[in-house]
Chains A and B, each alone.
Chain A
Amino acid sequence: MKNKHFLLIFFLFLVPLPAFADDDGEDAIEDLGWVAIGAGVIATVPFIAFVKVRKFAVKTGGSTVQIVRQMAPAYKPILNFHIILNSIGYFSGMFHGLMLSSNLEPISLSLALVMTVLMISGILLRYTSSRNAKMFNRLLHGQFGLVILLVGLILLHVLTADD
């Protein structure tokens, strides 16, 4: 069973590879950047929506608690989907950056920094058992300011990349 999961995760990491099937090298590397953005959006938006709906249902109480109970089994699969797709997006983005590292500029560097901080805090949040580390990473990973900064930097990067 574990081998099956490993194979599935391995094949998911190969998803960005078709970007290289393009004839032009520059276009392929650019496509890798779009793969990173797409994977990030698909991985994050449904997860945030799920968590917000669950929180809202718990807060309102009453009959909505039944909805929360029904939603509970779906949490783990959605979390795994969020982790795997974001990992794919992160590595696609990093390869995109490394291949175009000759054109490095401050906005791309800032984007790479924010992505790395969010990725490391996410991995530590999932895989550490220490209570303090978990609490620190939970707060850091969920900081609204960092998310806004990431979205802003992606927009800036897309707008200024061709210059």
Chain B
Amino acid sequence: MDERTFERLAEEYARRLYAVAYRLLGNRADAEDAVQRALMKCFAARASYSPRWAVSTWLYRAVANVCIDELRRRKVRGHEVSLDDAEGGERPRAGSRESGTVPGVRATRGGVGGVASTPPTSIGRRVDLTRALSRVPREARMLLALHYVNGLGYRELAAIRGITVNTVKSQLARGKTILRQALEAGGHDGSD
């Protein structure tokens, strides 16, 4: 795959990859960073790209790998998606040399951006959903994001995460059950 073809592909998929990363990582800076890192990895490995693979599977797997590893770091730091991030709270770019921050040690500040034209009335619902999603196990959350952001089918999801189609189905079902339960519990007691 030559450089120009890859650039065209990156442009074609950038928005879809960003949407997955945004819903998993919860803020615009980290989502852009994840897409950029994923595309750079694919760009570096473009010579080994095999046409046996769907391009979308290759790119989605790359962005899923980066996002999952970022979630691992957050878990270690003791938080995943925070409420400040629920509606696109901005953070300084992780580990940016300009800001002089330590990679993985960041301050969070609120703000709105990243989600286009969010009606104010739905913000409460979105915060509820963000909270509920944070209770869904990471693997299931990743599959939910890929499935609902881009409408990917079971077979492609299985190829992206290297699992069986049956595992995809059970993980999605489990994720949705936990989500429903968390939303119901949140509605009753209003607690996190």
Do the two chains bind?
no
